[in-house]
Amino acid sequence: MTLAGAAPNPLREGSVTLRSADPCSIVVFGATGDLTHRKLLPALHRLARERLLHPMTAIVGFGRKDRTDEAFRADALEAMGAQSPPEDWNRFAQSLHYQAGSFEDPEAFRALGAALARSEAARGVPANRLYYFAAPPATYETILKNLRVADLVRPPSGGESWSRVVIEKPFGHDLASARELNRRVHEVFDESQVFRIDHYLGKETVQNILVLRLANGIFEPLWNNRYLDHVQITVAESVGVEGRAAYYERSGVIRDMLQNHMIQLLTLTAMEPPARFEADAVRDEKVKVLRALRPLEPGEIPTRTVRAQYAKGAAGGVAVPGYREEAGVSADSETETYLAVRFEIDNWRWAGVPFYLRSGKRLPKRATEIAIVFKQPPHALFRSAGCSDLQANVLRLRIQPDEGITFSFGSKSPGQALHIDPVRMDFYYLTSFGADPPEAYERLLLDCNLGDSTLFARRDEVELAWEIVDGIAGVWQSDRKPPLLVYPAGTWGPTEADALPGREGRAWYRL
């Protein structure tokens, strides 16, 4: 690998780059993998096009396969397709470099350090390094050890330069392994240098939860158990395991979705307003929610949770196999591909307001949504006029795919008689702002560069989430587990899941 100094790009006056972003070397471990090519390189490319990366930023792929810089650039261009004019791509390509080496070889890490030092000297920039773990989780401990052996990490008080690490999920597979991984990470990095990434937190609508509540006086006074009836959080996937059976057989939906994405959405919805919009102030409030989340007792889990697995069915009008028929899946697998759970939060704001969460694979559509359901007013006035079937007001936050917000309320329909029908006010990012919101990885990678950890999970947050998940998973794997239900691919899960809110006179909202 030869890291040449990149020519400075012309910068817009007042850009984020001029004000904030540091020149740095972004080292991606697992540079030839799917995540790097599908998400990381395209996101970095777009940041560079928008002048949000410092022009002296170098992006260094580290992987086992032999590659030249030119081959790495060609692979990146093929993966991204025609996403920019040639002149933009050519500028970005000059920042891409490749270092071959084994994760187990300390000498490969020393060679990486020497190459980075030469590049930094040639560019005349500080030794700022952002290490991104895009490799399999089983390699994390080895990479951490060799970063320390090769002396590639500076302490937080390291002077003019900084070192940071970005770690992808899954962060452990249970509480014990998460604690052990945290211990290993902290042998090399201080907590202030650690960025545990969950790409859901980079989505615009997720970030907009707090803005919606706190920047609009009509919502925050109503965001409590006096006015809200319940909350629903749905993370639906239309795909199956897509060749990831080896991973999914170990994780299932409870570790793949509940422990990270869904609990993150719950904490952002339920947290108290932070005193300041700063990383630890926000994360302190999220941790308080997790501490207030009422643990499910083993005897409650059969009635408060639903576990299921998809059978053969149809997706988009095409026949698809059941989970046990997928390549790499055991014919008698007990792995859950669908879950539903009812949580309660024991604090003054949320006491008595149930949170219903559900997620599954091979559902009818890909969609993530938070539904804030308001209490219904007394109906005596309208019953006397023949209107007895009034619908609750619902604020629906669409996380994906069509990011936006919908608020439904009752309105008199035209005519002489009194009929009240639900109507909607819709906000779409695309139509309101003239462009789709940026990809989640763009925002998160920029935040890593800027050292802003607001949208990243802290150690205590991760471990508390695992405590919640372990309590459910422990029963699901015992002789007290609820039955593994079956639902046809292309449906909204087992009919038994409807009873979770149905027993309390509620129902899942259709997406």
Q: Which residues are catalytic?
A: 261
Residues 6+ apart with CB under 8 A from 436: 403, 429, 430
DSSP tag of 345: B
Consecutive H or E run containing 357: strand 355-360
Residue 311 Cα distances to 334, 336, 339, 476, angstroms? 12, 11, 15, 20
Locate the DSSP E strands across 281-344. 305-311, 313-315, 318-320, 338-343
Give the whole-angstrom CA distance, residue 195 versus residue 45.
21
Q: Which residues pair with 367 in a beta bridge?
A: 236
Q: What whole-number distance in Å separates Cα of residue 48 and Cα of residue 33?
A: 21
* Spatial CB neighbours of 447, under 8 Å, sequence gap ≥ 6: 195, 453, 454, 455, 456
Question: Are 236 and 363 a contacting pair, CB within 8 Å?
Answer: yes
Does residue 86 sit in helix, strand or coil?
helix
Return d(Cα 74, Cα 79) in angstroms, integer.
9
Separation of alpha carbons 53 and 449, rounded Å: 8
Q: 487 near 203, Cβ under 8 Å?
A: no
Cα–Cα dist 487/308, whole Å: 7
Token digits of residue 437: 């919101």
3-state SS class at 403: coil
Show Cβ contacts of residue 508 under 8 Å, excluding neighbours closer than 6 positions. 232, 234, 356, 358, 492, 497, 498, 501
Is the peptide bond prior to 354 cis by the omega test (within 30 degrees of 0)? Answer: no
Q: Both ends of the chain: CA-CA distance in Å?
A: 49
Amino acid, single-letter form, for residue 92: F
Residue whose C-alpha is closest to residue 27's, from 121, 149, 89, 115? 115
Identify each DSSP E strand in 381-455 by its residue range: 394-400, 404-412, 420-428
CB 392 within 8 A of CB 420: no
Helix extents (H) in 254-406: 263-270, 279-292, 301-304, 380-383
Q: Tell me 437's DSSP state.
A: P
